[in-house]
Structure 1
C-alpha cells in the first residue's frame, strides 16, 4: 500500500470536531482533544457554518 493520507480518518476527525463544536466545546478544546491545531478547527468551523457537514467532506 502506498504511503499517504488516510482520507477516511481525516474525514472522521472533521466530523468528530463538528460534533464537539455543536456540543459547545471551544475550538481550542476540540483541537486539544483531537490532536490538531486550533487553526485547523477554526477552518473546519467556518466551513461547517457556511456549508454544513458537506463543507467538511471537501476540507
Structure 2
C-alpha cells in the first residue's frame, strides 16, 4: 500500500499532518487529518448560552 504524507499542513494554528493511503490501483483507501494539539476551547464553551459564544470565539 502506498502512503502520501503532507507534513506540515500550513494555514493552521499549531501542527497538522495529512496521510493518504492508496491501494494497488492508486485509489484512495483511507485518509487521515491529524492535529495533535488540544486547544480546549470547546470545553470552556460547554454550558454557556449560545448568544455568548459569538462574543467569545473571535477573541481566541
TM-based fold match above 0.5:
no
Q: Which has the higher contact order (CA 8 A, sep 6+)?
A: 1
More helix by share: 1
TM superposition score normalised by structure 1: 0.32
Q: Which has the larger radius of gyration?
A: 2
Structure having the larger proportion of residues in strand:
2
